[in-house]
Structure 1
Amino acid sequence: MIKFFRKIRQNLLSENKFSKYLIYAIGEIVLVVIGILIALSLNNWNENLKSIKEEKEILNNIYKDLSTDSIQFDYYESQFQKIETLHLQLYKVGIKNEELDSISEPALIRRSLYFKQLIDSDFEKKAHTIENSKIREALILYTKTIADLETVYEIELLPLINKKLKNYLAEKELYNVKNWFELKSRTFDDYSYDEINGKNLVDKDGLIELAKTKKFQQMLFELNVKWNDFHTRLMIVINENYKLRDLIRQELKEY
């Protein structure tokens, strides 16, 4: 093809047909420009396909992480309800002097959570690479609600349980050491609070008596306030998690 055009140019020049040569030269330049534009368009098309594929993969991964987190958050919610029930029972027997047939597993009073979600504040950086503005903004908002939840749990609630409450229970000798070591012989695959019924790790009667003291009542107040603060923020996170997953589901349908 190149030889063909070169031959035409040579013929036009040898015949001194300068005007025709000029028209031809301009035409050749136009063809070259059109070829370059086509090449650029193809390159941009390929890059767009690549970007769409990468974004789809990112959204799929985020969706999976959000789904895993939602299962964990449901577990937190169920644990909070159990802890809240025990707190109310201790309030009734300790402050209102009500008689209850039984109270929940007393070890729940010192319960803490393994708190680690897959979507965290680092995802805010990844959010800026997402084309869909609604998903981008929702992901940024979600990471902030996660950060708020972490702050309440790690800075306010967890230190109260680990540094104050647990030491106080040990000071009052409420831990059933024998039950703990018998429990350790179990396989932890089966472990649940239901299975240690009758083998309380915290002395039930001792905890009821402790609930009648002013010091424990003040500690219970502080503990319950912080658990409820955690729960309020947890419900916000659960709601944002659901909305973000819904946005991603809708976006993935468009690909």
Structure 2
Amino acid sequence: MIKFFRKIRRKLLRENRLSKYLLYAIGEIILVVIGILIALQLNNWNENRKENIRENQLIDVLITDLKAKKAEFKSDLAIGKSIIRNSDISINYWNRNNKIDTLNLKFLLKYLAEDEWFFNENSPVYATIAGSELWKELPDSLNRQIDNMYRMQFGSIKSAFVKQSEYALNGKLNFLAPNHLLNLNEGTSSIQKIVSNRDEDFIVLLELFKSGVVRLTSKFEKTIPSIDRLIENLEFYKNDK
């Protein structure tokens, strides 16, 4: 193509057709400019495509992180409901019979001694997105929703876990350890006798522990649907771009 234009240019010069040569030169310049503009447009399109891919990858990673948190909360919710259910059985039995029930005794003592309740609300995924260009591109409503989830709702769950761990540590130090109830290898009847000697203290401890679990499960029940809504909004934003 370049050789073709050169031949035309030389022919016009040889024939001394200056006006036509000038028109040709202008046309050639216009073609070069158009080519440059097209190249720039293609480059911009390619860069935008790459940026969209990077943004979508970040959104996908965030969605994966949220789904992992949801699965964790659903598992904890099931455990919490089990603790509440078994606590109610033992508390109601004691209220009716003034006696410690053996049915769920070991199960409850096991959780009353569990002082390692933990939840890490910090997320490297959230930190990465909050400091990226994607954060500036997201709608304000979606930014607030993400921020509220990671900073407020997850932070609130973290606080509830810390409080629950404090309840368990208090029970371990003031009731379980002094009564040699940290080792549950003995028979249920033997353990019942030990607990029965301080039955009121056990029930108070159990009610306190249960109240913390109730608070935790209520947070899980509120947060899980919020995660679903956030995931839905993120997927809608990604697919609507």
TM-score bucket (shorter structure): 0.7 to 0.9
Q: How far apart in 1 are the matches of 2:148 and 2:235?
A: 18
1:140 aligns with 2:147: yes
Aligned to 1:237: 223
1:52 aligns with 2:82: no
Per the normalisation by structure 1, the TM-score is: 0.69
Identity in percent: 26
Q: How far apart in 2 are the matches of 1:34 and 1:152?
A: 64
Q: Which residue identity is paired with 2:191?
A: D
Q: How far apart in 1 are the matches of 2:229 and 2:183?
A: 45
How far the C-alpha of 1:55 sits from its partner, in A, is 3.4
How far the C-alpha of 1:241 sits from its partner, in A, is 1.6
- The structure richer in helix per residue is 2
Aligned to 1:191: none
SS at match of 2:200: coil
Instruction: Confirm or deny: 8 A CA contact 2:121 2:150 kept in the other structure.
Output: no
Q: Which residue identity is paired with 1:206?
A: I
Instruction: Confirm or deny: 8 A CA contact 1:76 1:113 kept in the other structure.
Output: no
Q: How far apart in 1 are the matches of 2:93 and 2:124?
A: 42
Q: Return closer, same or farther for 1:9/1:170 CA change in 2, 3 Å cut-off.
A: same
What per-residue deviation string (whole Å, max 9, x for no partner) do you get for residues 196-251 of structure 1? xx669x934433543413x972x455434433332232222212222123334545
Which stretches in structure 2 are left out of the alignment for 5+ residues? Answer: none
1:149 aligns with 2:135: no
Greater shift in the superposed pair: 51-60 or 78-87: 51-60
1:207 aligns with 2:195: yes
Q: Return closer, same or farther for 1:199/1:103 CA change in 2, 3 Å cut-off.
A: closer
Instruction: Confirm or deny: 8 A CA contact 1:93 1:100 kept in the other structure.
Output: yes
Equivalent residues in 2 for 1:169-184, closer than 5 Å: 169-176=176-183, 178-179=185-186
Instruction: Confirm or deny: 8 A CA contact 1:124 1:140 kept in the other structure.
Output: no
How far the C-alpha of 1:165 sits from its partner, in A, is 1.6
Q: How far apart in 1 are the matches of 2:2 and 2:90?
A: 93
Aligned to 2:29: 29
Aligned to 1:111: 114
Q: Return closer, same or farther for 1:58/1:71 CA change in 2, 3 Å cut-off.
A: same
Q: Which residue identity is paired with 2:57?
A: E
Q: Which residue identity is paired with 2:113?
A: R
What per-residue deviation string (whole Å, max 9, x for no partner) do you get for residues 113-137 of structure 1? 6645798365143255265536554
Q: How far apart in 2 are the matches of 1:7 and 1:29?
A: 16
Which stretches in structure 1 are left out of the alignment for 5+ residues? Answer: 180-197
What per-residue deviation string (whole Å, max 9, x for no partner) do you get for residues 20-50 of structure 1? 4443333222212211121122122222332
Per the normalisation by structure 2, the TM-score is: 0.72
Q: How far apart in 1 are the matches of 2:59 and 2:89?
A: 45
